[in-house]
Amino acid sequence: MGVEYIEFSHAKDGLEQQLCNCASSQNLVEVASAEHLRHNAAANLAAEWKLGVKEWLVLACVSLLMTMDAFNATVLLPLITNLSATSEQPLGNTLWIEASYLLASAASQPFSVMLAAILGVGPIALGAAVLATVGTGVCSGSMSLACLVPGRFVQGVGCGGVIATSLLMIDEVIPYPHQARITGYAFQTRVVGATVGLIFGGLLVDHAVWTFYASLVFCALGLLVIPFAVELRTYRRIAKCKACELDWQGAVLTFMGMGCLLIGVNWGGILYEWTNWHVLVVLGAGAASIIVLVLYESLWSVHPLFSSTIFSSIARTMLYLSSLLHGFLLSCHLLNCALYLRLIQELSSAFAGLGLLTVVSPALVALILTERVRHLRNPSTFPWMVRIGWLCSVLATGFFIILDDSTPPQVWVFILLGAGIGHSLLISGHHRGVHHIHQPNRDSEHYSASSILMYSLLRTWGMCIAVPVGGAIILHRIVRQEGAESSHFDFQAGEAPLSQQGRDQKEMLVGGFHMLWRVMVGASALGGVSSLFVK
């Protein structure tokens, strides 16, 4: 009897388990079917959505403003050595024409986003365009360094605000499933702007002021389009306590810390010895600001600029680190390749600008292919694009070490093209990656930096860091070998160095470039390591 009971009990348990499994299987089928239907419905809605008049105006406005920013960022690269000669200023000082623009652009982006949270996107976009126009006007008034550096700083403040508000326009008007596609179009126009800037800068070497007149055309068009694309009368009237909770202190500390550190790096070993009190005070102030920033962001800030929700996983953190390193490498390639072509290869500004197109133009092809080829839009594809991009960058930058004054054009053209292919893959991969790893929270009443804004900010900071660091590495080699009296070294670009001193200076420049190429290889390798964690 006991045996029969045990067998019956086991049979009953098996029957119950079988019924439970059947019910579970049925529930799983129902859940899967519901998920499939929901996915199909979302896909159908996404497929049915099309750009309306409002969306077309926003896209036109954003494309125009991003073209203006890219044009301003690259137009002076072929002219740096000429401006150093005409203004009779050391090359290290002249580099601040570019560094001040990028520093102001990076610093103004978080301020613009926070002001847009209070006043609305429209007024801030218009104000940023006005600032860019004012800065361009100051630069066009005089080509002296005393006018160009402040003018470029004001211009950078405006263009940084323009970039931030442009991304906010897309975030507000375009549905999330289509934001990657629309920002891809905007990035394509940005590459076009950079290309046009390099061409204009090289061709207008004898009339450099016309480069700023051309920028005024973009400013005028932007001021014309903005009122039609965004609402200018929007005033959100958020509570005073909420406005105070925005991370103003974090943005100020970031600007102060990075600015002081970059100034100290630029001064050290060139204008002053590294042990000079000027350098130590500036570097100490920068380091203290960064330490206070870290403590404030982690302990006291209510809505930190560098929020833990943005860096919530290793994959996201590594993607942002990759974008920072990519900005550093891109700026190093553009600026220092321009210096190499002018000072070592002794090419004209026009040919130097055309040579830099091999670094910039492949990005346009990659962005177009990413939008056209469906497989490249797959979320599982972008990590491999980033990894292959860093691999190409490591290989191409490694070949930079063989460049000297006797390198034939067909060699350095293919090396620059290899670097351009790496940058094109990184731009496309990062662009797709930041849209796949995080979806902005539209229901939050508090300021929340989206992934694309953080990507833009870190990439701009990387580009800013590259300018003084690269100049310090190149010029420090000359100072170390010729002594402190050569800290105001002024190389006459485009003139063949006939004297023995000129030949010695060129050899030291080649050595300085080789040191810089090695640093860039290290940065590329670090970017490659970070890409292994991106998924």
Q: What is the pLDDT of residue 142?
A: 80
Question: Percent of the chain at pLDDT above 90?
Answer: 50
Q: What would the pLDDT profile of 306-330 be if each residue is shown by its tens digit?
A: 877 778 789 889 999 999 999 999 9
Q: What is the pLDDT of residue 141?
A: 84
Compute how many other C-beta atoms are within 10 angstroms of the C-beta atom of residue 288.
14
Examine the pLDDT at 479 and tell me if it is beyond 80.
no
| The most confident of 2-11, 242-251, 262-271, 521-530, by mean pLDDT | 521-530
- Residue-wise DSSP of 240-277: HHHHHHS-HHHHHHHHHHHHHHHHHHHHBTTTB-TTSH
Examine the pLDDT at 7 and tell me if it is beyond 50.
no
Provide, for the chain, the percentages of residues in helix, strand and coil under a 3-state DSSP scheme, each rounded to the nearest 5: 80, 0, 20
* DSSP code of residue 403: -
Amino acid in the structure at residue 447: Y
- Under a CB-based contact definition with an 8 Å cutoff, are residues 472 and 265 in contact? yes
Query: In the block, which residue shows the tokens 């292994």?
Result: 532
If one compares 296 and 11, the residue with the highest pLDDT of the two is 296
Per-residue confidence band for 64, with pLDDT thresholds at 50, 70 and 90 = very high
Per-residue confidence band for 445, with pLDDT thresholds at 50, 70 and 90 = very low
Q: What is the pLDDT of residue 22?
A: 42
Examine the pLDDT at 202 and tell me if it is beyond 80.
yes
Q: What is the pLDDT of residue 24?
A: 41
| The most confident of 85-99, 139-153, 314-328, 497-511, by mean pLDDT | 314-328
Examine the pLDDT at 106 and tell me if it is beyond 50.
yes
Please tell me the distance from the alpha carbon of residue 25 to that of residue 453, in angstroms, as a whole number.
44
If one compares 390 and 238, the residue with the highest pLDDT of the two is 390
Examine the pLDDT at 31 and tell me if it is beyond 90.
no
Per-residue confidence band for 476, with pLDDT thresholds at 50, 70 and 90 = confident
Q: What is the pLDDT of residue 101?
A: 96
If one compares 354 and 442, the residue with the highest pLDDT of the two is 354
CA atoms within 13 A on the CB side of 499: 4
Please tell me the distance from the alpha carbon of residue 226 to that of residue 57, in angstroms, as a whole number.
9
If one compares 494 and 408, the residue with the highest pLDDT of the two is 408
Examine the pLDDT at 45 and tell me if it is beyond 50.
no
Q: What is the pLDDT of residue 355?
A: 92
Nearest to 322 by CA among 202, 192, 449, 425: 425
Q: What is the pLDDT of residue 491?
A: 46
Question: Percent of the chain at pLDDT above 70?
Answer: 83
Examine the pLDDT at 439 and tell me if it is beyond 60.
no
Q: What is the pLDDT of residue 238?
A: 61
Please tell me the distance from the alpha carbon of residue 493 to that of residue 514, in angstroms, as a whole number.
19
**Longest Cα separation, the chain:** 115
- Under a CB-based contact definition with an 8 Å cutoff, are residues 454 and 304 in contact? no
Examine the pLDDT at 428 and tell me if it is beyond 60.
yes
Q: What is the pLDDT of residue 297?
A: 86
